[in-house]
Amino acid sequence: MDTKELLKKVRKIEIKTRRLSDHVFGGEYHSTFKGRGMTFSEVRQYQFGDDVRNIDWNVTARTNQPHIKVFEEERELTMLLMVDISGSELFGTDQQFKNEIITEISATLAFSATQNNDKIGLILFSDEIELYIPPKKGRSHVLRIIRELIEFEPKSKGTNVAEALKFMRNVMKKKAIVFVLSDFIADDYSHTLKIAAGKHDVTGIRVYDKREEEIPNLGMVQMQDEESGELMLVNTASKKVRTNYSKFYHEKVAYYKDGFAKAGAGTIDCRVDESYVKKLLGYFKRR
């Protein structure tokens, strides 16, 4: 993609997603996440009316006087976008591929965070960490993130959600608002997710295509695995083949939903032919 075409794409996404963040998501994002980040300020003597849950028992035992921990609201928060750029994201049977919807959702969230003067960072991952952009503020920083989402070429096509979450935990020392955008056709990440969600405010955004849910009966068809590159002949007329595929797919979806629920993390499901605007707004309002 040449520079002129890239800038044109970036500008197009900015116009669409910035309008959404300005008029639709800005206030919802603010009311959903502002004030959730609390940082320790000081220890002082207990006063009548203080919340007993904030008692610092170590200081109380040492001084023989009840003391409480005082917290203050962090005015500036950090949002981290964790984006799956594996081969399976290059799929779509309607007007857009999954990776294009993911780019739009990421840009909308980033501009919403910018309205609140928050920092935004980016992790692009496959089965390895492809790119890490540390959190910063400002429109030019968001435009850089959009450029990378559009043109970055991954070295690998596999998916490893657990590895991405481990990396995130290592680089994000303070609590952050973390959105993981993927189709979540993966496994073995629930334990790592639970640890990450214990410290950070994590939300999984599953972007999928309706054609992925089951294989239609089209007879003998040559198919390619987007992640392994393997070509194979598949007899889609076989009911057993279609049933086994459907079972495999729905097991992955169930693992995703169950894993995020047990970790206390949020989930949003966005089908490429549906409005992600309604899905995001509904999630923010529920929170």
Amino acid at 274: E
Q: Is 78 in contact with 172 (CB distance < 8 Å)? A: yes
Same domain assignment for residues 50 and 183: no
Same domain assignment for residues 137 and 242: yes
Same domain assignment for residues 68 and 154: no
% pLDDT > 70, the chain: 88
Same domain assignment for residues 143 and 20: yes
**pLDDT confidence of residue 196:** 97
Q: Give the CATH number for residue 192.
A: 3.40.50.410
Q: Looking at 65-136, which runs of residues are DSSP E strands?
A: 67-73, 78-84, 119-125, 129-136
What are the tens digits of pLDDT across the range 227-273? 666 777 877 777 888 888 889 899 999 999 999 999 999 999 999 98
Q: How many Cα atoms within 13 Å fall on the side-chain side of residue 193?
A: 27
Highest mean pLDDT among 18-27, 46-55, 204-213: 204-213
Same domain assignment for residues 136 and 60: no
Q: How confident is the model at residue 83 (pLDDT cuts 50, 70, 90)?
A: very high
Three-state secondary-structure class, residue 73: strand
What are residue 89's DSSP bridge partners? none
Q: How confident is the model at residue 90 (pLDDT cuts 50, 70, 90)?
A: low
CA 97 to CA 208: how far, in whole Å?
9
% pLDDT > 90, the chain: 48
Q: Is the pLDDT reported for residue 133 higher than 90?
A: yes
Same domain assignment for residues 102 and 164: yes
How many structural domains comprise the chain?
A: 2
**pLDDT confidence of residue 228:** 67
Q: Is 156 in contact with 127 (CB distance < 8 Å)? A: yes
**pLDDT confidence of residue 88:** 67
Q: Is the pLDDT reported for residue 23 higher than 70?
A: no
Task: Provide CB contacts within 8 A for 69, sequence distance 6+.
Answer: 40, 42, 43, 54, 55, 56
Task: Provide CB contacts within 8 A for 10, sequence distance 6+.
Answer: 143, 146, 147, 150
Amino acid at 286: R
What are the tens digits of pLDDT across the range 146-183? 999 999 999 988 899 999 999 999 999 889 999 999 99
CA 119 to CA 172: how far, in whole Å?
12
CA 102 to CA 253: how far, in whole Å?
18
Same domain assignment for residues 143 and 267: yes
Same domain assignment for residues 53 and 134: no
**pLDDT confidence of residue 245:** 81
Q: In which domain, by residue range, is 53 found?
A: 38-73
Same domain assignment for residues 273 and 152: yes
Q: Is the pLDDT reported for residue 98 higher than 60?
A: yes
Helix (H) or strand (E) holding 267: strand 266-271
Read off the pLDDT of each residue in 11-33 and give the average, rounded to a whole number.
74
Q: Is the pLDDT reported for residue 119 higher than 60?
A: yes
What are the tens digits of pLDDT across the range 205-227? 999 988 887 777 777 777 766 66
Same domain assignment for residues 55 and 84: no
**Nearest of 187, 203, 188, 227 to residue 89 by alpha carbon:** 227
**pLDDT confidence of residue 10:** 82
